[in-house]
Chain A
Amino acid sequence: MGLDIYAEEMISHYEHPHNKRKMENPSIEFHENNPLCGDDITVYCLIEGDVVKEMAFVGDGCAISIGTASMLTDFAKGKTLDEIEKMGFGTIKDLIGIDPGPARVKCATLALKTLKRCAFLYQHKEIDQATKEL
C-alpha cells in the first residue's frame, strides 16, 4: 500500500474532524474500542423517525480511525436506519477511496461498526451480538 490512504482529505479530517463533540441529548449512543491499538470511539446519533438527522463522535486514535469517523458523520446524515444497517466494508472503501489493507482495516471500520451498533440498538432495543467485524 502506498501513501494514498493519507491523502490530504484524510489528513484534513484527522486534523480538523467534523462533528467531533459530545452530543447532549442523543437518541442513541454507543462506545467501541480496538484494545490492541488504543483506538477508542463513542458515536452519538440524533434520530427522527427512521432518519439519522445528525451523527457526532468523540474518541482517540490514529489518523485513519479519526479521519474515517469524521467523513462518516457527513455521510451518515440523512440516511435511514435501514440504509445504515446495510452499510459495510464497501461503504468505507468508497468513502476513503482506497482499500486500507488488512493491517489497518480495523482502524478504518471502527466508526461504522459503532454507528451500525447504534442503529441496531435503536431499532431492536438490544445490542447486536452477531456482527463481529464488517
Chain B
Amino acid sequence: MLDVDRIRKDFPLLSIEYGGKKIAYLDNAATSQKPVQVIDKISDYYRTYNANIHRGIYKISEKATEAYIESKEKAAKLINTDSYSEIVYTKNATDAINLAAIGWGTNNIKKGDHILITEMEHHSNIVPWQMLAKKREAVLDYVNVDRSTYTLDEESLEKGLEKNPKIFAFTHVSNVLGTINDAKKLTRKAHEAGTVVLLDGAQSVPHMGVDIKDIGADIFAFSSHKMLGPAGIGVLYAKRDILESMDPLITGGDMILSVEKQSSTWNDIPWKFEAGTSNVEGGIGFGAAIDYLNAVGMDNIKTHETGITKYALESLAGIEKVKTYGPAIESAAKGGIVSFSIQGVHPHDIATIFDSQGIAIRAGHHCAMPLIKSVLELPAAARMSFYLYSTMEEVDRAVQAIKSVKETFHIR
C-alpha cells in the first residue's frame, strides 16, 4: 500500500489552488508532476557544481560528470540492462525512436522490405517509420486492434509476421486504451520470424517494473518527464551490437575519439550518439526521479494505479451515455489510463468544463489519430490518466464533473 498522503506532500504543484480550486491532475500520460527531490537535485547542481562534463580537469566538472553517468547507471539498472553503455540519452522517447529509425533503419531497410507497427501506436512510433518506408521504398504494415477487446489482434499479428518484416515496432502500453501488450510474448514471436523488435516504453517504464532483458526487445525507448523527471531527457536503449552498428545522426563535439582534416573516429557507445554539450541537469534530475520511484517501489505504484483505475471504471460504468475504451480491468492487461466519451458532447467541451472545476484531463486525438479515427471511430476522446499520487477523491471529482457536463448539455 502506498502512503499517498505522504507522497503528495513531495509534489508542490498538487497543493496549489487555481481559481480557489485545488488541481486534480489527471493527465499523467502527457507528463508527470515533479517531486521536491527532483527539483532540489537540479537546483543543487546549478547552485553548487554546474560545469560542463567530460572535459574539465577540475572538481566541479568531475562531480557533474560523475552525477550524469550515475544517472545512466540508474536507468540501466531500472530496466535491467548490463551496462550504462547501452543507455543513450536523447531529448525524449520520440527522439529515441527517430534515432533508431534513421540510425538503424537506413542501414538495414532496403527497397521492398516490410516494417510492422500497430494501430495503437502514438504518432512518435508511426511517423518515423512512414518516413523511413518512403525513403527506402519499403512497405509499412499494421497489426490491427481487436475492436471488442482493445488488444492486438492475434491473427493480424501472425499475418504481419509472415511477411518477415525487418522490424516490429510496438508500444508496451497504449497511451489511449491503457492496453498492456505482452511484450515478452510478442518479442519471442517476432524473433522467431527473424524480426528485430523496437518497444516503445514511454507509458510502461513510469508505471510498472520493466525488465528489458527478460522481455528480450532489441531496442527500447522511454522518457524522463513522464516519470517524475525533467523534460528534455529520454532514453534509447539498444543491444550493444545494434548500437555499435548504428550511425550517429548528430555529429560534432564530444562524440568523437579523434578528428582529422578529412575523417573522424567515433567515440564509444553511448557517447557517439550524444554530440555537443549534454543536458546535464536533465540527466541528473532524471537520476533523482529514478531514485524516488525505486524508493516507492514500481510494484507498489502498479498496484496503486490498478486500484484507482478499477475505481474509475466502476464509477463511470454506472453513468448513462458515458462510454469507456480499453480492456476490462479484470484482464490484468490494463494500465492507469481511462479514455471516455459522453454521447452528444465533444471531448474539448468536456475538458473545458473539467478545467472549470480544477480538473486537468486530456481531450483530443492523443497523438494517436489512426487509433482514434479507425479503431474507436471518434473525432476525439477525453482521457484521465493516473499516477502514484492519484486519489479516489480525484476520481470522485471527475465523476461530479461528468455530471455537470451532462447537466450543461441537458443530457439525461
Contacts and interface: CB of A to CB of B under 8 A. Distances in A.
Interface residues of A, number: 19
Given A11-B409, A36-B365, A37-B364, A3 B348 contact: no
Given A38-B379, A60-B379, A107-B348, A1 B356 contact: yes
Contacts of A1: 352, 355-356
Contact of A63 (B356, B364, B379, B409): B409
A3 B356 contact: yes
Nearest to A40: B379
Interface in A16-50: 36-38
B317 interface: no
B349 interface: yes
B329 interface: no
A130 interface: no
B412 interface: no
B346 interface: yes
A63 B352 CA distance: 11
A103 B352 contact: yes
Interface residues of B, number: 18
Contacts of A107: 348
B355 A63 contact: no
Contact of A38 (B349, B380, B410): B380
Contacts of B404: 3
A54 B345 CA distance: 28
Nearest to A38: B379
A104 B351 CA distance: 11
A15 B410 contact: yes
Interface in B333-370: 345-349, 352-353, 355-356, 364-365
B410 A63 contact: no
B262 interface: no
Given A11-B408, A15-B410, 16 more contacts: A6-B349, A6-B353, A6-B408, A11-B410, A14-B409, A36-B365, A37-B346, A38-B379, A60-B379, A61-B346, A62-B347, A62-B349, A64-B352, A103-B348, A104-B352, A107-B348
22 contacts: A1-B352, A1-B355, A1-B356, A2-B19, A3-B353, A3-B404, A3-B408, A6-B352, A6-B408, A15-B409, A36-B364, A37-B364, A37-B379, A37-B380, A60-B379, A62-B348, A63-B346, A63-B349, A63-B409, A64-B349, A103-B348, A107-B348
